[in-house]
Structure 1
Amino acid sequence: MESIQTLSIISRSTSDGHQTVDDEQPNDLKIEHLQRRRSSRFTSLRFLPDSILLAVFSYLTPLDLIRCTRVCHRWYLLVSRHQQLWRRLFLRPESTCGYIGAIHVRHVEPFISVLGTRCGSALLYIDLPVELITVDVLRELAIRCPNLQYLTLDFSSAMQLHDFNDLYEFPCNLKRLCICLSEVIFLEAFMRRIYGYLSSLQTLHIIGTMEKPTISSQDDVSNYETINLGKIKASAPNLRVINLYGIGFIDDSHVEAIASGCIHLQCLALNYCIRVCGTSFKALMARCIQDAGMLAVNWSSTQLKELDLASTELSEKALLTLFAAMPKFMYLAVPFCDGFTDKVLKVLVDHGKLNGCRALDFSNTVNLSAEAMHRLLTTLPNITQHLEALSYTGNGAITEQFWIDTIRFIHKLKILIVGTPYSWFREMARRIHVDQILDSCAMHCPDLQRLEIQWDSETVRYSENSSKFIDHLRIKCPKLLSFVLPDGPYYEGTKSNFERAERSTVVRTTNMYKTSIISALHFYNELRFN
């Protein structure tokens, strides 16, 4: 430091009239300039070591990584030569929800070379649109990417398939396979080539076209079995999770074949498979369940732990018999179930069926009283101390005092859905003061991740100091990912509060988002697709 200092010549008079020279003060301007140069050196990205840059790059999407290669030659080499950055490739920009960095491939040949050089053995997940489902691409994946475990094949927009007569290589270590069906293409010619490579498969998603607007009627798709489910089942003996979504030709015979042939099956999900009635496999919850079918099952011999009876017409008598015979629940959802009454809840509690339960959904159970729910949440620690997800909406008698009394007993809560939606036609007895509810969540639920308040803006009441309660929730619940509110002044104020704290994606509106407890299912991650 002394070697670069210059003298500051300052004359000062002494008592004897002589002048002295003061050389002790440094040149402040040069010191400040030096410090600024040093600080700029250490804050520049050019001086970060490769290890730190790679750690930062690991959080980026594939599309962002491609953009990073255009910054400088050093970044290009780092991104191109380190395969661990390319573990997931999303290649369907038009089929993805949210920003995941999906890439649109315009030229197949350069893409094939990139698979081997840039991705290689580090690639774990890839989704392929129909134009990339070719012999050359699949062969490259089989040879260059031996650790590939998750593969999505999207035939949904296909009008004609490539020629697969020369397909002799296919990834053989897959753990999860997702196939999106086409309306007009039969896939047996392609599937016949890959049956021998599916022995390691544990999770299978088959996504149909039931929700496509081009389908004119249900009968149009019911006669076309575009994929042979029985052969897949025979070729994949280790299947644990099967998800059939929106497939018109699936009926009870397919369910019976799956139930009898998949000895390791732990989860079977049917959504929008309109021909399944549950007659062949009683343990399967179909969309129209009747008392006779449910009571025919020997529930005491099953290992059922998660049950969703949403919108079923089961009577109180049937539910009493069922729940008395069933084992303990880890997940129970009975929304819009008129047969679920105080008496049914008492049977569940008395038999200990809800002890240790992680998730409960009692929304819009019109015959379940608020008093019974209050007793459940305040006097039964064997239930509340394990509860992580709770949905209780649609009861006009519930006020903020109910939640102030009960939330303090549910310390592990991660998902909470409260309120009475659509109160514009259901006159509320009083306005709801949401400040106290937020304060209770902040004090007693530090792990809260998702919160939805369904009371509309006409019902919600808040004080002039509501921002303090919002601050309290935001600070005390750092894991909060989603806070859903109805449109109105309170929503706008809450959103602005979180935006000032640089958490702009947390607050959402009920017009665009809906919170559910289904993420508490044991096989939730396996059931996700697209």
Structure 2
Amino acid sequence: MNMINTTPNYIENIPEKLILHIFSYLHLKELGKIARVCRKWRNLAYDPRLWECVSLRPEYNGLSINHTDYLMNLIHNRFGSKLRYIEMPSDLITPSVLHDLAAKCPSIKYMTLDFSKAMQLHDFNDLNSFPCNMKSLCICLSEVIFMEGFMRRIYQCLNTLQVLHLIGTFELSNEEEEEIFEVINIAKIKAHTPNLRLVNLYGINFVDDSHVELLASNCIHLECLALNFCLRVKGAAFSTLIQRCRKLTSLLLHHTSVADEHMMAVPWEKSQLRELDITSTEMSAECLLDILPRMPGFRYLAVGHCDFFDDKVLDMLIQKNKLRDLIAIDISHNDTLSENAINRLIQKHGLQLKGLILTGKPKLTEQFWLNAIPYLKNLKVCSMGTANGWFLKLTSRVHVDQIISSISQNWTNIERLEMQWDPDTIRFGDNSSKFIDLIRLRCPRMKSMTLSDGEYYEMVKSNYERADRLKVVRTTTNYTTSIVTFLSHFNDLLFN
């Protein structure tokens, strides 16, 4: 005779280990709330294992802490030896806080120090200790606050660093010419960080070729160098960089001022580059025809908004077999690329592609995509269409139902999809909901589907929400799809 268990299934009967695992999915703000439920939950919510990664920057969805005394109490009683990652704004970065982090949190490997909004720094003359086994350090710079007084106290603790982010103020700057200050001494940093394998100098207005040469002179283990939005970089130091940093495989030059004469003088044939981003640069077709075939071959290639990346350049790369290992490419907004050349690329290398950004091409409507989609069966990330207001408006409509149907049949691995066509361009029928059902059911890995705001967006959004997938459908006004996730150093490149 089977005995029926009549014990009530109260939540307090759940093993603590299981509750702790459930709590690990909660945001730190939520942990603070559930700690008020009872003494047991309070002890579990404040378990140091749940506080391994802590952000104290409210503007980036972090905790808001107004007093350093409260932070020091958290360091002593909650963070402890389990803390691995911490982000702090400038008002919390004091000698006493850093001293306690060094003494009480020996497992810290990742740290972000945000000075971007600082009006003045604390006095660091008394700073005698700093976490000294870190793997990654991110410093968000101010436009006018000089960092040398602080950096002088921590140089000796940086020799274990493998990843360094120095984040500038490009996004906050205006077009007016202002006096530019070198607010941090890169020459001294490189002298104390011989083990760097990734350096990200993002949007720093004073960084130029001399700083690149300084890094090349000492950081011989460098594998990835990102100089995105460093407008003073022209490429004069790249010859030294390639000759000294033999492990360099990734070079990111988005919106830099690289010049033809400097780029053509680099011995690219001696490099190990596999990933290149030259988006929004102004190199000529002659330069591209010279440098790209001298590189070993591409795993990742971003050439969006490059006016001179034309059919001849793309065909040359295909003919010379430089795209044999390609898994992600961005050829958006290249007006000189023809539909035929893009078709040749897709037919030759489509099956190996996992990421494709192909926006800003008004002539690539549903017929192009219906022909191309079957060649892209392994695609995980794709962006297509033309945003509203682009310089060449579409005179025809795009039948989105046919595209959605084809995607649902061929792209079962798709994770991120963006369609930039505006409501005046997209045409859909009375049975559109059935096609949306198909893509939702047949593409279960979809994490983000980005559409232009309008009636079609509302229809897709409500469809996914009825299936309890609330965060999948987004609008192009607040989300942009890119292929950066396919960079081999993507996780290390993340900041903010």
Whether TM exceeds 0.5 here: the answer is: yes
Return the letter of the residue paired with 1:193.
Answer: R
Match of 1:174 among 125, 134, 152: 134
Kept after mapping to 1: 8 A contact 2:274/2:297: yes
Percent of residue pairs identical: 48
Structure whose alpha-carbon radius of gyration is higher: 1
Report the Cα offset of residue 70 of structure 1.
0.6
1:209 — aligned with what?
169
Q: How many residues align?
A: 484
Which range moves more in the overlay, 340-349 or 63-72?
A: 340-349
**1:126 paired to 2:86:** yes
Match of 1:357 among 280, 301, 326: 326
Match of 1:87 among 52, 64, 75: 52
Q: Quick one: distance in 2 between partners of 1:346 and 1:2?
A: 74
Which range moves more in the overlay, 56-65 or 507-516?
A: 507-516
Q: Quick one: distance in 2 between partners of 1:127 and 1:77?
A: 24
Match of 2:281 among 273, 290, 312: 312
Cα 1:372/1:212, change in 2 over 3 Å: closer
Q: Quick one: distance in 2 between partners of 1:346 and 1:180?
A: 41
Cα 1:302/1:319, change in 2 over 3 Å: same
Runs of 5+ consecutive residues of structure 2 not aligned to the other structure: 243-250
Which range moves more in the overlay, 513-522 or 486-495?
A: 513-522
Q: Quick one: distance in 2 between partners of 1:162 and 1:322?
A: 48
Matches within 5 A, 1:48-447: 48-80=14-46, 82-94=47-59, 96=60, 100=61, 102-212=62-172, 217-220=176-179, 222=180, 224-281=181-238, 285=253, 287-378=256-347, 380=348, 383-422=349-388, 426-447=392-413
Report the Cα offset of residue 108 of structure 1.
2.5
Report the Cα offset of residue 424 of structure 1.
7.1
Matches within 5 A, 1:42-53: 42=9, 44-53=10-19
Q: Quick one: distance in 1 between partners of 2:400 and 2:435?
A: 9
Report the Cα offset of residue 418 of structure 1.
0.9
Return the letter of the residue paired with 2:156.
Answer: G
TM-score, reference length from structure 2: 0.92
Match of 2:375, SS state, is coil
Return the letter of the residue paired with 2:101.
Answer: L
Report the Cα offset of residue 138 of structure 1.
1.0
Kept after mapping to 1: 8 A contact 2:124/2:153: yes
Match of 2:404, SS state, is helix
Return the letter of the residue paired with 2:69.
Answer: E
Cα 1:423/1:431, change in 2 over 3 Å: farther
Q: Quick one: distance in 2 between partners of 1:182 and 1:365?
A: 35
Return the letter of the residue paired with 1:236.
Answer: T
Show CA shifts across 1:347-390 (max 9, x none). 11111111120111122222221122223222x2xx22321100
Report the Cα offset of residue 184 of structure 1.
3.3
Cα 1:233/1:460, change in 2 over 3 Å: same
**1:482 paired to 2:448:** yes
Report the Cα offset of residue 115 of structure 1.
1.4
Aligned Cα root-mean-square deviation (Å): 2.3
Return the letter of the residue paired with 1:291.
Answer: D
Return the letter of the residue paired with 2:154.
Answer: I
Kept after mapping to 2: 8 A contact 1:491/1:509: yes
Q: Quick one: distance in 1 between partners of 2:427 and 2:382?
A: 19
Kept after mapping to 2: 8 A contact 1:300/1:326: yes
Q: Quick one: distance in 2 between partners of 1:323 and 1:209?
A: 31
Return the letter of the residue paired with 1:434.
Answer: V
Q: Quick one: distance in 2 between partners of 1:291 and 1:374?
A: 29
TM-score, reference length from structure 1: 0.86
Kept after mapping to 1: 8 A contact 2:130/2:154: yes
Q: Quick one: distance in 2 between partners of 1:195 and 1:467?
A: 60
Return the letter of the residue paired with 1:274.
Answer: L
Report the Cα offset of residue 517 of structure 1.
1.5
Return the letter of the residue paired with 1:474.
Answer: R
2:248 — aligned with what?
none
Return the letter of the residue paired with 1:432.
Answer: V
Show CA shifts across 1:113-151 (max 9, x none). 321332211111001112221122111111111110111
Q: Quick one: distance in 2 between partners of 1:474 and 1:321?
A: 45
Q: Quick one: distance in 1 between partners of 2:141 and 2:217?
A: 24
Kept after mapping to 1: 8 A contact 2:416/2:447: yes
Which range moves more in the overlay, 446-455 or 424-433?
A: 424-433
Show CA shifts across 1:234-262 (max 9, x none). 11110111111232222221111112221
Q: Quick one: distance in 2 between partners of 1:50 and 1:366?
A: 60
Q: Quick one: distance in 2 between partners of 1:409 and 1:159?
A: 54
Q: Quick one: distance in 1 between partners of 2:140 and 2:393?
A: 45
Match of 1:408, SS state, is helix
Show CA shifts across 1:416-460 (max 9, x none). 111122367634242111112122222222221110111111111
Cα 1:153/1:423, change in 2 over 3 Å: closer
1:6 — aligned with what?
none
**1:508 paired to 2:467:** no
Report the Cα offset of residue 2 of structure 1.
13
Kept after mapping to 2: 8 A contact 1:483/1:508: yes
Return the letter of the residue paired with 2:25.
Answer: Y
Q: Quick one: distance in 2 between partners of 1:163 and 1:424?
A: 51
Return the letter of the residue paired with 2:450.
Answer: V
Q: Quick one: distance in 2 between partners of 1:196 and 1:2?
A: 69
Q: Quick one: distance in 1 between partners of 2:215 and 2:2?
A: 83
